[in-house]
Amino acid sequence: AAVGKGNFRHFMEKELHEHPAVLGDTLQQYLDPATRAVALPPLPFDPATVPRLTMSACGSAFLAAQVGRYWIEQLARIPVDADVASELRYREPPLAEGGGAILVSQSGETADTMAALRLLQQGGQKVLSVVNVPESSMARESDGALLTVAGPEIGVASTKAFTAQLALLACLAIGFGRARGTLDEATARLLASTLTEVPGHAALILEKDAEIRAMAAEVAKARDVLFLGRGALMPIAMEGALKLKELSYIHAEGYPAGEMKHGPIALIDTAVPVIALCPSGPLFEKTASNLQEAAARGGRIMAFTDAVGAKALRGFAERVIELPTVHPFAAPILHAIPVQVLAYHVAVLKGTDVDQPRNLAKSVTVE
């Protein structure tokens, strides 16, 4: 059946508004809200004993995989290698005997990810794919598939499918941690209840639309934009930059906050917005001090943070957008939403083709 735009101007706008529902539907597959327990179906590898995991994907799906890698390593203590599919397939990576792999894809048809799937299987790895299209090639050819429940995504730049991938990977990390015994039951329940609050928080973030649009008016004037984040927020900074590039054709870079001083700091002047994703938590102080360095060089600091973080940043930041205060585990999922909304508004202001940016394709089936 054809999917319509409803009352929205663009498919992307409609799809952004589907975040709460899609997150809820995806979480519900793997997480029982009543018992706050994660229940995973049988997987192609045993998370309790798998010696190593390889994660791979392309585009935004790869950035979701990178967040997944941080979570899985942290909670389940499984060593994870993560690389874009077009590199992984030619890199001749040494694969562990009895190893597992997780591939992430909205369409399940991306050529490089499919090639990585075959390479991994030939290398004896058991491949689990995280896909949004159940009847896709990847779902069929993998040794097992878990589905995101994002529904059809029409906008070329991924939005709701990306956050659904994160939600699913978060459940996997908790499930793996339990299977491996690295995560105790009480902590697992705490993290699971943090996830059950994510759809509600996503709805609150969508209400910040006017604030984000005001930020977009500034960002739309820039030639270069730098996005910074640390830890599991680092791939989200890269997603923010990717979305802005794809949709508005403004040059943007996503960087690990601590690495700024080794390069991007040279770009900073009074015209460069530095957009930070920095919720309060164990990594906050470090990122805040990176931002102060950028501010000292005239950089225009704009931050997505929470109430506690906002207090510390307001002194030197030009704009601070307060997101709901959540456990650091859920922060990457929630911070993904406003950077997508920001890119959307910048694109609308610049008059670019939001749903069908130039030169891009929804599903890249050529190598």
**Residue ranges binding ligand G6P (CB under 6 A):** 58-61, 105-107, 110, 113, 156-158, 360, 362-364
Give the Cα separation of 19 and 199 in Å (integer).
Answer: 7
Q: CA 264 to CA 228: how far, in whole Å?
A: 10
Q: Of 115 and 364, which CB lies nearer to ligand G6P in the complex structure?
A: 364
88 vs 310 by CB, closer to ligand G6P: 88
Among residues 60 and 280, whose Cβ is nearest to ligand G6P?
60
Minimum distance, C-beta of residue 242 to ligand G6P, in the bound complex (Å): 8
Partners of 102 in the beta sheet? 55, 128
Geometric angle at alpha carbon 204, from 33 and 161, rounded to 5°: 65
Show the tokens assigned to 162: 């990306």
- Complex with ligand G6P: residue 74 or 363, whichever CB lies closer: 363
- 8 Å CB contact between 153 and 129: no
Q: Which is nearer to ligand G6P, 50 or 161 (CB)?
A: 161
Containing 82, the helix (H) or strand (E) segment is: strand 80-84
DSSP 8-class letter at 264: G
Shortest Å distance, C-beta 84 to ligand G6P = 10
3 state DSSP class of 46: coil
Cα 153 to its chain centre, rounded Å, is 16
The residue with tokens 């389940």 is: 76
Task: Kindly state the smallest distance separating residue 111's Cβ from ligand G6P, in Å.
Answer: 9
Helix (H) or strand (E) holding 118: helix 111-122
Q: Which residues contact 133 (CB under 8 A, 6 or more apart)?
A: 106, 107, 108, 109, 139
Q: Which residues contact 39 (CB under 8 A, 6 or more apart)?
A: 30, 31, 32, 175
- Residue 107 gets which letter from DSSP? S
Q: Which is nearer to ligand G6P, 148 or 305 (CB)?
A: 148
The Cα 254–Cα 239 span in angstroms is 7
Output the smallest distance, CB 270 to ligand G6P, in A. Answer: 32
Alpha helices in 197-297 (DSSP H): 198-206, 209-219, 234-248, 284-296
Among candidate residues 95, 93, 107, 98, the one with its CA nearest the CA of residue 58: 107
Q: Which residue is nearest to ligand G6P (CB)?
A: 59
C-alpha 292/C-alpha 366 separation (Å) is: 43
Secondary structure letter of residue 71 according to DSSP: H
Give helix 19-30 / helix 160-180 axis angle, nearest 10°.
20
- Residue 361 CB, nearest approach to ligand G6P (Å): 6
Nearer to ligand G6P, 187 or 356 (CB): 356
Residues designated catalytic: 362
